[in-house]
Copies of this chain bind each other. A is one copy, B any other.
Amino acid sequence: MSPPRRTTLKDLARELGVSTATISNAFNRPDQLSPALRERILGEAKRLGYRGPDAKARSLRTGRSRIIAVVLAESLTYSINDPVASELLSGIAEVLDAHGHTLLLLSGRQHVSQVPGSASIADGFIAYGLMPPSLMVSADLPAQRPLVAIDFSPAGYPTVHIDNEPASYMIARYALRTPARRPALVSLRLTAEPCNGRITEEHTLLPPESSITRSRLAGFHRALEERGFTPSDAPMWNIEENTFEVCAPVLEEILDLPDDERPDLLLCMSDRIALTALTLAEQRGLRIPEDLRLTGFDGIAEGQYRAPRLTTVRQDSVEKGRIAARMILGLAPSESTLLPTTLIVGDTAP
């Protein structure tokens, strides 16, 4: 017996006694044949279980797949659970969906060189987060296909960015209007070597240009200096991964300092960090904001649908995703874009 081969366009053509071109047209260019014939073809197709042109063959032939790849700097597992990355993906998905494209998720974190071969199927790439250097440098990915970067700036490609330094300056400045005696910073991924804990003289920091965390740090320091603090006055802690699990021990270390050493203002580089600090502080009976004031960064929903609400800077990550997606689809000019941020005054640093 014959193998259970999938019905092809050619089978259908033979069956109906028309040419393959006509079948193809019936599916792709309705205006190229009589409605009656088209009806007949579509009907027969359904009867024979033919579901329309095969995507693999079609994409080989046309050169386009209607697939856009999103390359994430972190592992997928992490990215999907990070509220900021999620919002970003939402924005991307929204636009792609509306235009009949689909989303291929890739992690840039794995063996850098072997970004899966299946990637080359994509019509375009959106890259998010600081890529591993090798990937960045060689700009290995795009193989002359369009690429838009979000939150980092590989040379020669359009970027969607926020104004990190001014944004963190803005919130730090706001928080410092109320005098703080012991301000401290809790940063995300700031050191060259992985570190979960206090940053000391021993640590070297990531290079200033390549990392959004360095930009945010600069903003914090600018505001602190305006208030008469030197950078070394404000101790810094580093957190490698923006998850409850990783944040919690570092923040416990901070909150469990003796009363006269414990910071009274925590400038955090993400809402996740700030929210974890908030929870742990409440568990310890610290009063917010009397005993401890807190600021976040991102403006995620979780920080606002609670009491006390987080004081933070909002960046519109969904919109970042939308813009990148529009660029990649050619719906908007591919020019680097800087999105504004806004201060959200909540209850944790009124």
Chain A residues near B (Cβ < 8 Å): 4, 6, 49, 51-60, 63, 65-67, 75-77, 80-81, 83, 86-87, 89-90, 93-94, 97, 100-107, 110, 116-121, 140, 143-144, 244-245, 248, 276, 279, 282-283, 301-302, 305-307
Please indicate the chain B residues that have their CB under 8 angstroms from the CB of A93 in the complex. Answer: 75-77, 80, 105, 107
Does the CB pair A121–B59 fall under 8 Å?
A: yes
User: How many identical chains are in the complex?
Assistant: 2
24 contacts between A and B (CB under 8 A): A4-B144, A49-B143, A54-B120, A55-B118, A56-B63, A56-B65, A65-B118, A66-B116, A67-B104, A77-B90, A80-B80, A81-B86, A86-B86, A93-B105, A100-B116, A101-B116, A102-B104, A102-B119, A103-B104, A103-B105, A104-B105, A248-B305, A279-B305, A279-B306
Complex Cα–Cα for A294 and B25 (A): 59
Contacts A87-B81, A97-B110, A102-B105; A118 near B76 (Cβ below 8 A):
no
Query: How far, in Å, is A113 (CB) from chain B's closest CB?
Result: 10
Please indicate the chain B residues that have their CB under 8 angstroms from the CB of A276 in the complex. Answer: 305
Does the CB pair A103–B89 fall under 8 Å?
A: no
Task: Choose among B90, B120, B144 the residue that contacts A81 (Cβ–Cβ < 8 A).
Answer: B90
Contacts A104-B104, A118-B102, A305-B248; A89 near B80 (Cβ below 8 A):
yes
Please indicate the chain B residues that have their CB under 8 angstroms from the CB of A121 in the complex. Answer: 55-56, 59, 65, 67, 121
Task: Choose among B54, B55, B106, B117 the residue that contacts A58 (Cβ–Cβ < 8 A).
Answer: B117
